[in-house]
Structure 1
Amino acid sequence: MRGLFRKDRKECWVVEVSAEERVARVFLGRVVEPGDEVGGRWVREVGAVEAARWVRWGGAGPVGMSERRWGGMRGRAEEADGERDLEVASGVGARFVCPGEVEWPGALDELGDGRPLGLWVRGRASLRMWALRSVAVVGARACTEYGAHVGASLGAGLAERGWVVVSGGAYGVDGAAHRGALGVGGATVAVLACGVDQAYPRGHAELIGRIAEQGLVVGELPPGAHPTPSRFVLRNRVIAALTRGTVVVEAALRSGSLVTARAAQRLGRHTMGVPGPVTSALSAGVHELLRGGGQVVTDAADVVELVGEMGELAPERRGPELPRDLLDPGARRVLDGLPGSRAAKVAEIARAAATTRDDAIARLYELRALGYVERHGESWKLTRQAVMSVRGGRGGP
């Protein structure tokens, strides 16, 4: 059955997934590797139920799939059991969300045949609703104190502004971003490269547990599945597709965080980077991203200005306001016309300020009342307190 509803300001069909379809997709999740576009196209063309039946009972592999890969899928199918995986997941409070269901984030469909066959989700919130207003914050695992500080600040700042912080649950910047959001009572999503019943890395078992209670833990691999280097890379496409934009805090030139950013660029999402010291190898990847079209951000306000709705602008960046900034422009010109270390007569001051003698006299009395100048007979001089202010305004030492 299908029903029409509004999603992302567009009309979309919601699919009511049958129990048979759900079990078939869970089964195929153990057979087809994440991001396998050939396998994904096959499932799309023949349907999940028929694909599951086909791989169970043999025959020739789908068009475009090598005999070796087909043999590997057949071998994995012998151990796969969709109903068992659903039972195990239920025991840890996880559910399996299929494409087209109400909770399915439509943005994932932009991955084409490489989209997940479904997603395992732990947590009470709706993944689709949270994905609508989410930002990925990623970066180096072995980050510096600077990277950890910026990651936590971004996580907290975005959460305080009502945005969902999405990351990979890893050490370093990922963990800092999650903790920043959790610390202010905000929403965060950890997208794992293993089963959602697993804690990886082991040292983040407590953190991932907190995320499952306060936010969402998401993954496309079945319960009990362990991460591999290739699965980390493929997981990053899900992080990029789920969110409106990706912020990279620290990354070396070969960092997996840059894989996430490049996936976001291919999908037309905002890609952002926080610059760091030019002497730091952990900022070299970020700087390369910025050279390639990424946008510079320094805090949550900058991020929200890019990914948010019209009018969500970052505050104007200005240096500290000095008392002399509040002076009338004419008074500032006369103040600038006074020598820094000696007294001067009115005529000299008027010439330096490009004004008349009478105007200069009027401005000098105004400045004396404000404590900027003092009179010495027929001459005028800056007060001791005003000297540093004037030097600063002139760019002096």
Structure 2
Amino acid sequence: MSATDEERAARAALARIIEPGNEHGGRWLRELGAVELLSRLTHGTYRKGALPGITERRAQGLLARATRARPDQDLAAITAAGGRFLVPGDPEWPTQLDDLRDARPVGLWLRGRPDLRRWALRSVAVVGARACTPYGAHMAAALATALAERGWVVVSGAAFGVDGAAHRGALGARGATVAVLACGVDVPYPRGHAGLITRIAEQGLVVGELPPGDHPTPSRFILRNRVIAALTRGTVVVEAAHRSGSLVTARTAQRLGRHTMGVPGPATSGLSAGVHELLRGEAVLVTDADEIVELVGDIGDLAPARRGPVLPRDLLAPLTARVLEALPPRGQSLTLPDVAATAGTGVDDALGRLYELHSLGFVEREGDAWQLTPTAMHHPDARRGGT
């Protein structure tokens, strides 16, 4: 059952008054309800104890914000932009956001047609450095493309660098992607991504906690990351320095019990140092979409087994392989008794194995001696197994 119009209007007003992630505000909402909380903030005069847990000075600041709230205008603005305002209780509300408890968003402003709740059920966050390397951009785009092709929704923050590469990878595969902004969803930020954000709104979803027209601040970017972490089934960090905001997303995901993954980079790269720190902890190393889906997907979504190429020598029986290894390299040869002694087997066994190896092209006979064929000598892995 959807929220009432009164509840929706009250939460739209509170989105102007309470900063994202404010746990005091979340507790008031939980204890008082949106309508009663707004009433206490719009009396014009603060009554002591009306908002427990904050100073009177802070309360006066909230009351001042309340006088500027125009929920009807904000709701009209989002409708004019082709969007909507979601609140807890709506059928489209992603209930996994409730894991944030009192830091849960007051509501979410959306642009785009798809159902956020359904998309979030099968979504993965791909985040990382703004000033990423070409390697980071390539990996983000490749992972997002492959995830989108497998029917997964790619969620990121629409920033420069890894975020933008992830969104473009999903869009390029004609897949699903969600951008979670730290400003109003009608504000193209960063400006250089105005076209990208428009494409996302047309093909996917643009989501934010802040009302139309509101601007981003450094703290809002950090607080936005908790929504990315809570909304998705797992977070992949592609590149991140030690103080990267992407690490905030990953650590929030860990606290919420979500899967946390990292893509390794060069040990000498400062932009991979934060990822490597995660990988030394509880994060899981991933290199492609198969490995991501193995973690976040359903039972049976296993990544294919990884191993090097199967060499001809790998197919030999153990005793046959020992006889092959008994022969010296570089064109030298051994008599049958010497081969048997070196291989630790009888002469008859050694002879049978040598004829088997001869039929497979590994060895040749020169009079009473045996030696490796030129092919086996030029490909020592075929003889020794290699690595």
| TM-score scaled by length of structure 2 | 0.95
Q: Cα–Cα, structure 1 residues 62 and 179, in superposed 2: closer, same or farther, change >3 Å?
A: same
Partner of 1:124: 113
Name the residue aligned to 1:287.
276
- Deviation string for 1:224-259 (max 9, x for gaps)? 011000000000000000011111111111000000
Identity %: 65
Match of 1:359?
A: 349
**Whole-angstrom distance in 1 between the partners of 2:231 and 2:127:** 14
SS in 2 for 1:375: strand
Task: Pick the aligned partner of 2:362 from 352, 356, 372.
Answer: 372
Shift of 1:393: 5.5
1:34-77 Cα distance to aligned partner (Å, 9 max, x none) = 00110111112111111112211233240002222212211111
* 1:255-290 Cα deviation digits (max 9, x unpaired): 000000111111111111111111111011111111
Q: How far did residue 192 of structure 1 move? A: 0.4
Deviation (angstroms), 1:333: 2.3
Q: CA RMSD in A?
A: 1.5
Q: Which AA in structure 2 matches 1:144?
A: T
Counterpart pick for 2:95 among 95, 106, 111: 106
What residue in structure 2 maps to residue 23 of structure 1?
A: 9
Match of 2:22 in 1: 36
Letter of the structure 2 residue corresponding to residue 68 of structure 1: R
Shift, 1:356, TM fit: 2.3
- Cα distance in 2 for residues equivalent to 1:39 and 1:379: 89
CA deviation after TM superposition for structure 1 residue 149, in Å:
0.8
CA distance in 2, matches of 1:226, 1:180: 27
Which residue among 288, 292, 314 is the counterpart of 1:303?
A: 292
Contact 1:334 1:363 in 2 (8 A): yes
CA distance in 2, matches of 1:392, 1:63: 76
Match of 2:308 in 1: 319
Q: Which residue of 2 aligns with 1:254?
A: 243
| CA contact 2:324–2:383 (8 Å) conserved in 1 | no
Unaligned 5+ residue runs, structure 1?
1-14
Q: Distance in 2 between matches of 1:114 and 1:97?
A: 16
What pairs with 1:1-397 in structure 2 (closer than 5 Å)?
15-58=1-44, 59-60=46-47, 61-341=50-330, 342-391=332-381, 394=384
In structure 2, give the amino acid aligned to 1:21.
E
**Following superposition, which runs of at least 4 residues in structure 1 exceed 6 angstroms of deviation?**
none
**Alignment check: 8 A CA contact 1:324 1:389 kept:** no
Does the 8 Å CA contact 1:108/1:238 hold for their aligned counterparts? Answer: yes
Q: Deviations over 1:325-351 (max 9, x none)?
A: 233333322222211120111122222
- 2:313–2:385 Cα contact (<8 Å) kept: no
Q: Tell me the equivalent position of 1:9.
A: none
Pick which of 290-299 and 221-230 moved more: 290-299
* TM-score, normalising length: structure 1: 0.93
Deviations 1:159-197 (A, max 9, x none): 122211111010101111111111111111110001111
**Counterparts of 1:127 and 1:179 in 2: how far apart (Å)?**
19
What is the CA–CA distance in structure 2 between the aligned matches of 1:149 and 1:54, rounded to whole Å?
Answer: 51
Query: Which residue is equivalent to 1:6?
Result: none
Higher mean alpha-carbon deviation, 267-276 vs 230-239, is at 267-276
CA distance in 2, matches of 1:182, 1:162: 12
Return the alpha-carbon distance in structure 2 between the equivalents of residues 120 and 371 of structure 1: 70
Q: Which amino acid in 1 is paired with 2:274?
A: G
1:396 Cα deviation after fit: 6.7
Q: Give the unaligned 5+ runs of structure 2.
A: none
Greater Cα offset, 105-114 or 320-329: 320-329
